[in-house]
Homo-oligomer: A and B are copies of this chain.
Amino acid sequence: MDLKAYLEERRALVNRALEAYLPRVRGPAFRVVEAMHYSLMAGGKRLRPILCLAAAEAVEGNPQEALPVACALEMIHTYSLIHDDLPAMDDDDLRRGRPTCHKQYDEATAILAGDGLLTEAFRLLGALASHFQDREAVLLEIIELVGAAAGYQGMVGGQMLDLQAEGRKITLKELETIHRLKTGALLTVSLRAGALVGGGSRVDVAHLTGFGEKFGLAFQITDDLLDVEGQASDMGKEPGMDARRQKATYPAILGPEQARQWARRLVEEAVEELEGFGDQAQPLREIARYLLVRRS
């Protein structure tokens, strides 16, 4: 399969849907909607929604049905980027090659834009009731799982740990916990939610969850490697930031070569989770292998 064409097509699909779900309507609080739109449509990879759609596909579901859930996940991801970039957090000026939300607007607007995207994600999920007729319990399960993955037991907790670890020496095990919570949880729930929407069996859902866990860790390791070795022109942000901030990373703890080897093994293990799946899981296999050669 042509992975590049597949990713492009899915990204375009997700972008069209996101535009529809967050219209830039004129209204009293237009400024915050503008800011939400600015960050949401800043042109990310759309990895979480694409994984969600691919997981629905992998269990022979209709990816179109998973599209609103996929969009809610991207809203949550974008909110987390906006808040993580704030001066009180990572204090970043650039994101996806453009000024961060608080640089483009101001801090208060950025906080509210993040809050607005997080809230809108859950509103959107609740509003899907009519799409899930006779399957409402599945939708509620997704809402619960997404809440757990995004909240203090997941992403919020991971960001807290990450901040607490800055400038301090941490162990490999601590680093793994941070990333399992900070990025792994939302990546994993993207696959799990997609599999649930697609009508996967409990066994299928468990395998896709396992895929997500391994994929999530491999993603983070290759992200850290990019920060060491990547090019600003490919990444849309400055490389070398982790080192400048004395942030613990996999290459820093393990050395780049061993980190790369570990990522390779994790990708293999992720792909093994898909052994029982047929051709319809091919996109997931390819996306996992792509991690090892990605440049952004």
Interface residues of A (CB under 8 A from B): 27-29, 31-33, 36, 79, 83, 86, 88-89, 106-109, 111-112, 114-116, 118-120, 122-129, 132, 136-137, 139-148, 150-153, 156-161, 163-164, 177, 181
Contacts and interface: CB of A to CB of B under 8 A. Distances in A.
- Chain A to chain B: the 4 pairs with minimum beta-carbon distance, closest first: A123-B147, A29-B157, A126-B143, A136-B136
24 contacts: A28-B161, A28-B181, A29-B152, A29-B158, A29-B181, A32-B152, A32-B160, A83-B111, A88-B111, A109-B163, A112-B160, A116-B151, A116-B156, A119-B152, A122-B122, A123-B143, A123-B147, A126-B143, A126-B147, A127-B144, A129-B137, A129-B141, A136-B136, A140-B140
Q: Which of A29, A107, A122, A125 gathers most chain B CB within 10 Å? A: A29
B88 A108 contact: yes
A88 B106 contact: yes
A33 B152 contact: yes
A118 B122 CA distance: 10
B141 A126 contact: yes
Contacts of A158: 29
Chain A binding surface SS class: helix
Contact of A164 (B31, B33, B123, B150): B31
A151 B118 CA distance: 8
Contact of A89 (B111, B120, B157): B111
Given A29-B160, A32-B156, A152-B29, A119 B118 contact: yes
A194 to B, nearest CB: 17
B147 A140 contact: no
A111 B136 contact: no
A109 to B, nearest CB: 7
Contacts of A115: 79, 83, 114-115, 118, 151, 156
A28 B157 contact: yes
B27 A157 contact: yes
Given A116-B156, A151-B116, A152-B120, A126 B144 contact: yes
